[in-house]
Structure 1
Amino acid sequence: MIEHIVLFQFKPDASPESLSAIVTRLRELKGKIPQILALSCGENFCDRAQGFTHGLVARFQDSASLQAYQDHPAHQEVVQKLIKPIAVNILAMDYEISEDGRG
């Protein structure tokens, strides 16, 4: 299985409404993209985030499923229309985990 982690740093003047819309739309991807096994997304509350304010964690069966998610029109719409216009920095990491999710 694949764990996909993304951290987002947004422009300081990004509106709370824009950020809330991003979180909502990312969470809605779970119901739109069948390859997503699990997805969580939210606002950071840790003081060690180095400017990253939001994060996403998604789980996929394999790398082909991850690629299907990344290419899916619903995902691309959120990225292109909501995230990219106000993002300063995006950090992504993908790694394999065991079937039981223990790493």
Structure 2
Amino acid sequence: MVEHIVLLKFSPKTTIEQKQETISRTLLLKEVIPGIMDIQQGINFSNRSKGFEIGLTVRFEDRTSLENYGPHPAHQEVFAYLQEIGVEDIIVVDFEF
């Protein structure tokens, strides 16, 4: 299995409603992208986040599923929305277990 971890930092102009919409759109990816075993996302409440506001974890069956996720049209739509609402920085970590 593969764990995909993403941290998102937004512009100060990004609203809480836009962040909630990001979460709603992302969670729907499990229904349309093959190979996603589990997906979780939420707004950070810790003061240790260095400004990153949303955390995402996606568990995939294997590396091939992860490789197919990035270019999938549904994922690309979410990514385009992130850019539209002012994502400023993204950290991604992937590991196999």
Q: Which runs of 5+ in 2 are unaligned?
A: none
Aligned to 1:89: 89
Q: Which runs of 4+ in 1 moved over 2 A?
A: none
The CA distance in 1 between the partners of 2:60 and 2:16, in whole Å, is: 30
The CA distance in 2 between the partners of 1:16 and 1:46, in whole Å, is: 16
Whether the 8 Å CA contact 2:4–2:58 is kept in 1: the answer is: yes
1:55 aligns with 2:72: no
Q: Provide the aligned C-alpha RMSD in A.
A: 0.8
How many pairs were matched up?
96
Q: Which runs of 5+ in 1 are unaligned?
A: 98-103
**1:30-45 to 2 correspondences below 5 Å:** 30-45=30-45
3-state SS in 2 of match to 1:7: strand
Structure 1 length as normaliser, TM-score? 0.89
The CA distance in 1 between the partners of 2:35 and 2:92, in whole Å, is: 18
* Same amino acid, percent of matched pairs: 41
